Chains A and B, each alone.
Chain A
Amino acid sequence: MNSTVNKYDFYDDEIVKKFVIATVCWGLIAFLVGLVVALQLADWRFNFGLPWITFGRLRPLHTNAAIFAFAGNAIFAGIYHSSQRLLKARLSSDLLSNLHFWGWQLIIVSAALTLPFGYTTSKEYAELEWPIDIAITIVWVIFAVNFFLTIKNRKEQHIYVAIWFYIATIITVAVLHIVNSIAIPVTFLKSYPVYAGVQDALVQWWYGHNAVAFVLTTPFLGLMYYYIPKAVNRPVYSYRLSIIHFWSLVFIYIWAGPHHLLHTSLPNWAQSLGMVFSLMLWAPSWGGMINGLLTLRGAWDKIRTDPVVKFLIAAVTFYGMATFEGPLLSIKSVNSLAHYTDWIIGHVHAGALGWNGFLTFGMLYYLVPKLWKTNLYSVKLATTHFWIGLLGIILYIMAMWASGITQGLMWQAMDDSGNLLYPDFVETVIRLVPLYYVRFVGGLLFLLGFLIQIFNLTATVLQANKEKVKDPVAKGSRIPFKDVISESSHRSLEGLPAVFSTLVVIAVLVASAFSLIPALFTPTKMSAKSIIRPYSPLELVGRDVYIREGCYLCHSQQIRTMSSEVLRYGPASTMEESIFDHPFQWGSKRTGPDLARIGKKYPDLWHYRHMMDPREVTPKSLMPAYAWLAKDKISFDLIPKKLRIMQQLGVPYSEYEIDNSIETAQMQAATIAKELHEHGAPSGLEKTEMVALIAYLQSLGQMSIKPLEVK
């Protein structure tokens, strides 16, 4: 190559290729792990009795791989490819681009190396421990700097709407990640979040909901606004509608988080607020969907012939369906049926497989031939992928709808005298097993389609000319800043990223501040300590075992304010009861029963036998066995440090309690072990995590010092 050629005259597509390859590789892993966890839910034997591949450890790996590895890399590939062309500028720094790429892959690898070993914060989609959280922050800042410098260097004056969506993504994800991840480290891979109980729940679901909004929605909408017009060679149906779409989402999305906490002990008005804002989201979401679909006006025939268009349009249709279902599920009465059931899993996968998956697949079919300067190896194979994948998604969603509604109705079903028709929880589970196999088949088809795509894309790359051809940066016509101002003030906003970004920051921060206000209405630890006692040292250790094993992924600890729940589990949970819980363990899914009042319901020996082999005490239970808990030893020496950090966070432990915590824990462990042994369990359990977990489970719902106030 001629040395006088300036590299900034060409787009940097090497980094896009890297992210494309990473997307494909991590997608394969995410889908494979998904299949494994699906099988584990259908038959417990697929847990193989191994700690690191038990459902509770693998599910966070599946969700993190799907969201941050597959979708994450896809977003970066699409953003880096489309932004350079929309801004008519090469990415500002090759160094930053590569740091971004390798840093992100390193984060994913560390996730894969920590989650199966039980290093988890137990905060859904934010399970990674604090050192990885810091790495995420650094890499995100690198991405942001690279992106904003590219905007600064742009040769296109105007900023296309896709870039707006990218900017909102970068800003909001940073805010969400930092606020939700604030924690105090205990060891190198263990920390306690600064929030507890209802406050932690509120922060977590403000994060969780908006991770869906700003990782899985806004960046993909940006991609939609670029790749659909490119694929059909037509401008977006209505640019005006895209602006309404954007600002409505930015202004409304943040408020909707509490819809994950309906009928819980969160103040009722905060629940209603979350519900109303969720309902409002119907309008902009459907506005956006219609805008995407109508971009095909006059080119509808391309749906038949072009697999890229097939995938993109199906993706937008799934966006419409998922964003119809979301607000529907946020209506309190619908939510009372659907929450904690597989309906939610079906809803999530309509979005993840249909919207994110298919949009990414369409983008890949568009990008790979473009990047490697060749044609797609086989249109026929791509079409086959489309139909197999679509069939897979439909099977998956239908199975989960049926399963969720069945179980929800069974939980609420009452006989003529007003008693529960299915008082035994496991009765409601065994009904679902056939549907879990249907779900597995759906997932298998989806993966099969993806394998066809991998073959097709590999063949495409292999047939490409090895000679590298670079795309030159398009000629731009950027007007100097001062002329923009004088030219026309009212046109400048859409070309001023700084002003624009500030507006987004204000909208997001104001909404966040307001949606976290309910946290101020919760009781303080000071006021609660006369009602609720904190965990004993051994119970606290058991709680960490509970978190490590991912128990919260199948067991909630929150009895909702519904008569069927009170009949089944006891009085509805109160805010005070989880006030010392750093982190909260309310859960979001009940594959097993709620545990908020499990304490003292069964003798210690029952729990021992249940952990060793759940089917011995509950025939047909789906729960994996946790026999290793009877072998793994408790780290007693860490206990004082754990209590000290809890004390710093406001949990009322006295100096005396902290100083004597090891002895207290050993005494309680010895008492439990002795009793277990007397009833027939083997001796020597007093040093094992088994007794700690039993101590914790027996404390649940038993922490009241005096009867709770009835309001």
Chain B
Amino acid sequence: MIREFLKAYPYMELAVVGQLLFFAVFLSVIFWIFRKGSSQFYNKMSHIPLMEEDN
């Protein structure tokens, strides 16, 4: 049944919805990483590998 449904379905809307979804995810990630107070947090995070010397 899915097969028949998909065969008859024109994809234009789906393509647009897909594109918007991907763009939305991308934008959310951008907003997420630039959220308020994140600079200090990410700075701390990026130093995790360097916290212990000589190991």
A230 with B22: CB separation less than 8 A: no
What's the least CB distance linking A487 to chain B, in Å? 11
A158 with B25: CB separation less than 8 A: no
A240-B49 in contact given A251-B25, A520-B6 (Cβ < 8 Å): no
A85-B52 in contact given A239-B42, A521-B6, A521-B7 (Cβ < 8 Å): yes
A160 with B45: CB separation less than 8 A: yes
Which residues 18-55 of B have a CB within 8 angstroms of A? 22, 25-26, 29-30, 32-35, 38, 41-52, 55
Q: How would residues 327 to 359 of chain A score, 1 for a CB under 8 Å from any chain B CB and 0 otherwise? A: 000000000000000000000000000000000
Q: How would residues 470 to 514 of chain A score, 1 for a CB under 8 Å from any chain B CB and 0 otherwise? A: 010010000000000000001100100000000000000000000
Kindly list chain A residues whose C-beta atoms are within 8 Å of the C-beta of B44. 158
Kindly list chain A residues whose C-beta atoms are within 8 Å of the C-beta of B33. 240, 243-244
- Best-surrounded residue of B26, B32, B46 (most CB of chain A within 10 A): B46
Kindly list chain B residues whose C-beta atoms are within 8 Å of the C-beta of A520. 2-3, 6
A474 with B50: CB separation less than 8 A: no
A269-B11 in contact given A239-B42, A240-B42, A521-B6 (Cβ < 8 Å): yes
Kindly list chain B residues whose C-beta atoms are within 8 Å of the C-beta of A247. 25, 29
- Best-surrounded residue of A230, A239, A474 (most CB of chain B within 10 A): A239
- A160's contact among B11, B48, B55, by CB below 8 Å, is which? B48
A704 CB-CB contact with B under 8 Å: no
B29 with A235: CB separation less than 8 A: no
A235-B46 in contact given A244-B29, A517-B6, A520-B6 (Cβ < 8 Å): yes
Cα distance A251–B24 in the bound complex, in angstroms: 12
Kindly list chain B residues whose C-beta atoms are within 8 Å of the C-beta of A474. 51-52, 55
- Best-surrounded residue of B30, B34, B42 (most CB of chain A within 10 A): B42
B45 with A229: CB separation less than 8 A: no
Query: Which residue of the partner chain A has the closest CB to B52?
Result: A474
- A235's contact among B3, B47, B55, by CB below 8 Å, is which? B47
Which residues 201-237 of A have a CB within 8 angstroms of B? 225-226, 229-230, 233-236
Query: Which residue of the partner chain B has the closest CB to A84?
Result: B55
A158 with B42: CB separation less than 8 A: no
What's the least CB distance linking A422 to chain B, in Å? 40
What's the least CB distance linking B54 to chain A, in Å? 8
Cα distance A243–B41 in the bound complex, in angstroms: 13
Cα distance A11–B55 in the bound complex, in angstroms: 10
Query: Which residue of the partner chain B has the closest CB to A244?
Result: B29
B49 with A230: CB separation less than 8 A: yes
Q: How would residues 80 to 114 of chain A score, 1 for a CB under 8 Å from any chain B CB and 0 otherwise? A: 00100110000000000000000000000000000
B55 with A226: CB separation less than 8 A: no
A85 with B49: CB separation less than 8 A: yes
What's the least CB distance linking B20 to chain A, in Å? 14
What's the least CB distance linking A433 to chain B, in Å? 46
Kindly list chain B residues whose C-beta atoms are within 8 Å of the C-beta of A11. 55
Cα distance A416–B34 in the bound complex, in angstroms: 61
Chain A residues with a Cβ under 8 A of chain B: 11, 82, 85-86, 156, 158, 160-162, 225-226, 229-230, 233-236, 239-240, 243-244, 247-248, 251, 269, 370, 471, 474, 490-491, 494, 517, 520-521, 524
Q: What 5 additional pairs, Cβ within 8 angstroms, besides A240-B34, A521-B7?
A: A86-B48, A229-B50, A247-B29, A520-B2, A524-B3
Q: Can you list 15 contacts pairing A with B, beta carbon distance less than 8 Å?
A: A85-B55, A86-B48, A156-B48, A225-B49, A234-B50, A240-B38, A244-B30, A244-B33, A247-B29, A248-B26, A474-B51, A517-B6, A520-B2, A521-B3, A524-B3
